[in-house]
Amino acid sequence: MNTQHFLTLNDLPASTLKSLIHRAVELKALTKSGAIFEPLKNRSLAMLFSKSSTRTRVSFEVGMRQLGGGTLNLSPNDTQIGRGEPLEDTARVISSMVDAVMIRTDDHAKVTKFAEFSSVPVINGLTDDFHPCQLLADMQTLYELRGSIAGATIAWVGDGNNVCNSFMNAAKLFDFTLNIATPTGYEPNSKIIEANKTNLRLINDPNEAVFNADVVVTDTWASMGQEDEKKQRLNAFKGYCVDQSLMNKASKDAIFMHCLPAYRGLECSAQVIEGPQSVVFQEAENRLHAQKALLEHLLA
Ligand code: CP
Ligand code: NVA
């Protein structure tokens, strides 16, 4: 089927991603002006959540509502997925009734399979491997604060996880340098490194990674689904906390980013996340605006 999906950032060309960022800024201003803009009247987005969510859930729900449409909030237990109905059947049934489907799940192969059988766009709302919607909001935030993203140096400090993988894709698409500092054994996916290597520097030492960086970004050390590894991870990531002394090694006006939820005292200090360099709540709000631009692009 020739349906446009958004399972990773690479599903859209760089030029389209940049247009979406500009559109997100426009839609943000439009919403704040109080204007009503409902290009998706009577359209429906099904949201399938197999993992917890605050930002993704609220931003898609409110975003669809502001664009004139509505959402269905589904979980495996509310549907026959929980009783073993095949994804191939679920995808064909749900997509015959709604205009788009957003999925948050564990195995990335599940969203790929769903998309294969879906007649409407499928949006990845986070898998174990990628979080492309987060990167749309992050790139919007950087664009708002800095005007341009190309040529910037961004330091990723911490776990080589799903958000890191999407950051690696973004590095190539938006042409910035991504310094990645992870403990040995917690590096990101090697295939994604290989695909984006022109824009990456893999480093173990966080001090080296953040040196002169324009942006320092981190995320939880134990993602959803890794709860059993938490103790072992807390040990492995000692020395990777983004605290003020680490931020001081970055560029003088460096900003601090985090997709949230954050664990103060672990991957970042309370001082940094609550401090003047932190833009985490602008990032979170931009989930709404960036995804409205995405929904408009895929559906209108
Ligand atoms: N950043 C993010 O995706 O947050 P939620 O898990 O709350 O959706
Ligand atoms: N890496 C985190 C991101 C949460 C938004 C997780 O997967 O749990």
**At 45, is the secondary structure helix, strand, or coil?**
strand
Active site residue 219: yes
- Whether 126 is in the pocket of ligand 1, judged by its Cβ within 6 Å, is yes
**What share of the chain in percent tops pLDDT 70?**
100
Mean pLDDT of 104-133: 98
How far is residue 58's CA from residue 55's CA, in Å, rounded to a whole number? 5
Residues 17-55 pLDDT 10s: 999 999 999 999 999 999 999 999 999 999 999 999 999
**Residue 1, pLDDT score:** 55
Cβ within 8 Å of residue 168, ≥6 positions away: 178, 180, 188, 192, 193, 195, 196, 199, 200
| The ligand 2 atom nearest the CA atom of 224 | 8
Q: What domains can you pick out in the chain, each with its CATH number?
A: 9-131+287-299 (3.40.50.1370), 134-283 (3.40.50.1370)
Mean pLDDT, all residues of the chain: 97
How far is residue 239's CA from residue 266's CA, in Å, rounded to a whole number? 10
Mean pLDDT of 157-168: 98
Active site residue 131: yes
Active site residue 83: no
The best mutation among 56, 75, 134, 223 to test binding of ligand 1, ranked by most ligand atoms within 8 Å of the C-beta, falls on 56
- Whether 56 is in the pocket of ligand 1, judged by its Cβ within 6 Å, is yes
Mean pLDDT of 103-110: 98
Cβ within 8 Å of residue 211, ≥6 positions away: 249, 250
Distance (angstroms) between ligand 1 centre and the Cα of 125 equals 9
Distance (angstroms) between ligand 2 centre and the Cα of 10 equals 20
Active site residue 287: yes
C-beta separation of 127 from 276 below 8 A: no
Active site residue 277: no
Residues 241-283 pLDDT 10s: 999 999 999 999 999 999 999 999 999 999 999 999 999 999 9
Sign of the dihedral through C-alpha 286, 290, 296, 299? negative
Mean pLDDT of 81-110: 97
The best mutation among 107, 127, 131 to test binding of ligand 2, ranked by most ligand atoms within 8 Å of the C-beta, falls on 131
**Residue 2, pLDDT score:** 85
Quote the tokens at residue 209. Answer: 């990674």
H or E element in which residue 122 lies = strand 122-124
**What share of the chain in percent tops pLDDT 90?**
98
> Which residues does ligand 2 sit against, CB inside 6 Å?
126, 161-163, 219-220, 223-224, 259
How far is residue 227's CA from residue 246's CA, in Å, rounded to a whole number? 27
Residues 163-192 pLDDT 10s: 999 999 999 999 999 999 999 999 999 999
Q: Which of 206, 274, 204 is nearest to 245 (CA)?
A: 206
**Residue 78, pLDDT score:** 86
Distance (angstroms) between ligand 2 centre and the Cα of 163 equals 7
**Residue 194, pLDDT score:** 98
pTM for this predicted structure: 0.98
The pLDDT of residue 100 is above 90: yes
H or E element in which residue 32 lies = helix 14-33
